[in-house]
Amino acid sequence: MDAAANQSWFLRKHVDGSVFGPLRFEEVRRWADGAQIAPHDKISHDQEIWQKAPMYPELGMDWLVEITSDRYYGPTTLGAVREFIRLGEIGEETFVINSCDGSRRQIGELAELAQEPNDTFELSANAPPATPMSIDVRDRITDLEHSLFEERRAFDELEARYRELETRYQAVLARES
């Protein structure tokens, strides 16, 4: 991602659509590590093609926080997990899952969190506020409804394609008879 370092980047917040930038990619990385970038936020270098932030491996958004046995927050960074601990949103008994290797451990067992980060930094004045882990139920319902709509649309397209191929197949069989 050497080319990315020389480009301008933009962050679009999922919650309200606000856009931050232009930024250097290193600043985007610091924001992700400081919990300023949530899993549904998107980034772009041209403001035309937007991708969810976790799609960029350079951001290190490799961790899922297990809020309950069936509710997770993430993917996010270890720096964001540190911030959630500092804010009192989670504790050492909370489980996290490394999405790269699938390991599930309690926060208290993670040596990576016991160490202070290698680089301390100040966030710029125009940085978005830290994104809390709490997910608005209405937003989650909207996301699920959108996903369901997309799945139904894809299913309908496949079903129509199947019917078309079935008709063509029956026509070939009829000609051969």
Instruction: Provide the terminal-to-terminal Cα distance of the chain, rounded to the nearest Å.
Output: 60
User: 87 with 168, same domain?
Assistant: no
Chain segment 166-177, per-residue pLDDT in tens:
999 999 999 988
User: 8 with 94, same domain?
Assistant: yes
At residue 69 the predicted structure's pLDDT band, cuts being 50, 70 and 90, is confident
**77 compared with 132, residue with greater pLDDT:** 77
User: 33 with 73, same domain?
Assistant: yes
Q: What is Dmax (Cα atoms) for the chain? A: 78
Residue 122: the pLDDT is: 52
Residue 121: the pLDDT is: 47
Residue 132: the pLDDT is: 61
**129 compared with 91, residue with greater pLDDT:** 91
User: 61 with 144, same domain?
Assistant: no
User: 106 with 140, same domain?
Assistant: no
User: 108 with 151, same domain?
Assistant: no
User: 127 with 146, same domain?
Assistant: no
Tell me how far the alpha carbon of residue 108 is from its chain's centroid: 24
User: 85 with 126, same domain?
Assistant: yes
- The number of folded domains in the chain is 2
Find tokens 């997910």 and name the residue.
135
Chain segment 114-145, per-residue pLDDT in tens:
666 555 445 555 667 666 665 555 665 676 77
User: 105 with 167, same domain?
Assistant: no
Q: Say how far apart CA 19 and CA 38 lie, in whole Å.
A: 14
User: 78 with 97, same domain?
Assistant: yes
| Long-range contacts formed by 58-61: CB under 8 A, 24+ apart | 58/1, 58/4, 58/25, 58/29, 59/28, 59/29, 59/32, 60/29, 60/32, 60/33, 61/32, 61/37
User: 141 with 128, same domain?
Assistant: no
Q: Is the pTM of this model over 0.85?
A: no
User: 121 with 143, same domain?
Assistant: no
Tell me how far the alpha carbon of residue 110 is from its chain's centroid: 22
Cβ count within 10 A of residue 123: 15
The C-alpha angle with vertex 45 and arms to 141 and 126, in degrees rounded to 5, equals 75
Both tokens of residue 31?
């924001």
Domain carrying residue 8:
2-134
The mean predicted confidence, pLDDT, of the chain is 84
pLDDT, mean of residues 71-79: 89
